[in-house]
Amino acid sequence: MASLSSSSYLRIFLLVFFFCYSSVQAANLPFHPRDVLPLLPKQVSWPIINYLSSAVDLLPSFVGSVSSPNNTVEWKGACFYENTAWMEFHNKSGSEFGGGTLHIKVSNAHSWTWMLGTLEALWDVFPLFTNTGWGEKSNIAFLEKHMGASFEERPQPWYTNISVDDVHSGDFLAISKIRGRWGGFETLEKWVSGAYAGHTAVCLKDSEGKLWVGESGHENEEGEDIIAVIPWDEWWEFELNKDDSDPHIAFLPLHPDIRAKFNETAAWEYALSMSGKPYGYKVVNAYESCVLRVAVASVMTVWSKIQPEYAANMWNEALNKRLGTQNLDLPEILVEVEKRGSSFDELLTIPEQDNWTYSDGKSTSCIAFVLELYKEAGLFDPISDSVQVTEFTIKDAYSLKFFENNSSRLPKWCNDADNVELPYCQILGKYRMELPGYNSMDPYPHMNERCPSMPPKYYRPENC
Ligand SMILES: *[C@@H]1O[C@H](CO)[C@@H](O)[C@H](O)[C@H]1NC(C)=O
Ligand SMILES: *[C@@H]1O[C@H](CO)[C@@H](O)[C@H](O)[C@H]1NC(C)=O
Ligand SMILES: *[C@@H]1O[C@H](CO)[C@@H](O)[C@H](O)[C@H]1NC(C)=O
Ligand SMILES: *[C@@H]1O[C@H](CO)[C@@H](O)[C@H](O)[C@H]1NC(C)=O
Ligand SMILES: *[C@@H]1O[C@H](CO)[C@@H](O)[C@H](O)[C@H]1NC(C)=O
Ligand SMILES: *[C@@H]1O[C@H](CO)[C@@H](O)[C@H](O)[C@H]1NC(C)=O
Ligand SMILES: *[C@@H]1O[C@H](CO)[C@@H](O)[C@H](O)[C@H]1NC(C)=O
d(CA 427, CA 248): 8
252: nearest Cα among 396, 394, 414, 424: 424
d(CA 168, CA 187): 29
Quick check: 48 and 302 in contact, CB under 8 A?
no
Going by alpha carbons, the residue nearest to atom 14 of ligand 6 is 406
Quick check: 447 and 428 in contact, CB under 8 A? Answer: no
**Which ligand has its closest atom nearest to the C-alpha of 268?**
4
- Residue 394 CA to residue 189 CA, distance in Å, equals 10
Measured in Å, residue 285 CA sits from the centre of ligand 5 at: 18
Q: Which atom of ligand 3 is nearest to the CA of 157?
A: 13
**Of the ligands numbered here, which is closest to the C-alpha atom of 413?**
3
Take atom 3 of ligand 3 and give the residue whose Cα is closest.
Answer: 161
Ligand 3 centroid to residue 38 C-alpha, Å: 42
CA distances from 279 to 130, 219, 353, 389 (A): 23, 9, 18, 16
Strand partners, 100: 89
Asked if residue 111 has its Cβ within 6 Å of ligand 7, the reply is no
- Select from 405, 406, 407, 410 the residue to mutate for testing ligand 6; criterion: most ligand atoms less than 8 Å from CB: 406
User: Which residue's alpha carbon is nearest to atom 14 within ligand 4?
Assistant: 263
CB-based pocket (< 6 A), ligand 2:
91, 94, 96-98
> What contacts 463, CB < 8 A, 6 or more positions away?
444
326 lines ligand 6 (CB under 6 A): no
156 lines ligand 3 (CB under 6 A): no
In this structure, the residue with its CA closest to atom 10 of ligand 6 is 406
The dihedrals phi and psi of 90, each to the nearest 5 degrees, come to -155, -175
Separation of CA 245 and ligand 3 centre (Å):
22
pLDDT at 132: 72
pLDDT at 148: 87
| Ligand 3 mean position, distance from CA 412 (Å) | 15
406 CB within 6 A, ligand 7: yes
Pocket of ligand 4 (CB under 6 A): 263, 265-266, 269
Q: Angle at Cα 302 formed by Cα 184 and Cα 299, nearest 5°?
A: 35
Mutate to test the pocket of ligand 4, among 169, 262, 265 (most ligand atoms within 8 A of CB): 265
Nearest CA residue ID for atom 10, ligand 1: 70
- The pLDDT, as a whole number, for residue 159 is 95
Q: Give the residue, by CA position, lying nearest to ligand 7 atom 10.
A: 405
Closest atom, ligand 5, to C-alpha of 355: 1
d(CA 368, CA 213): 15
Interval between CA 265 and ligand 4 midpoint (Å): 6
The pLDDT of residue 358 = 62
The upper half-sphere exposure of residue 287, i.e. CA atoms within 13 Å in the direction of its Cβ, equals: 14
Residue with CA closest to ligand 1 atom 9: 70
Sheet holding 82-90, edge to edge: 2-3, 99-107, 82-90, 73-75
- Note the pLDDT of residue 71: 53
Question: Cis before residue 157, ω within 30 degrees of 0?
Answer: yes
How far is residue 349's CA from residue 42's CA, in Å, rounded to a whole number? 27
- Ligand 6 centroid to residue 168 C-alpha, Å: 19
Residue 51: its pLDDT value, please? 38
What residues contact residue 108 under an 8 Å CB cut-off, 6+ apart? 80, 81, 82
- Could you tell me the CA-to-CA distances from 113 to 120, 420, 422, 428 in Å, in that order? 11, 35, 34, 37
> What residues of the chain score a pLDDT lower than 50?
1-67, 73-83, 85, 87, 95-121, 123, 281-311
Burial of 80 (0-12, 13-18, 19+ CB in 10 A): buried
Q: Where are the alpha helices (DSSP H) in 43-170?
A: 45-50, 55-58, 113-123, 133-147
Residue 253, judged by CB atoms within 10 A of its CB (0-12, 13-18, 19+), counts as: buried
Backbone angles phi, psi at 445, to 5 degrees: -60, 140
**DSSP assignment string, 259-312:** HHH--HHHHHHHHHHHTTSBP-------TT-HHHHHHHHHHHHHHHHHSHHHHH
Q: Between the CA of residue 382 and those of 149, 443, 445, what are the distances in Å? A: 36, 10, 10
Handedness of CA 20, 26, 31, 34 (dihedral sign): positive
Nearest to 111 by CA among 365, 361, 455, 341: 455
Distance 256 CA to ligand 7 centre (A): 11
The ligand whose atoms approach the alpha carbon of 158 most closely is: 3
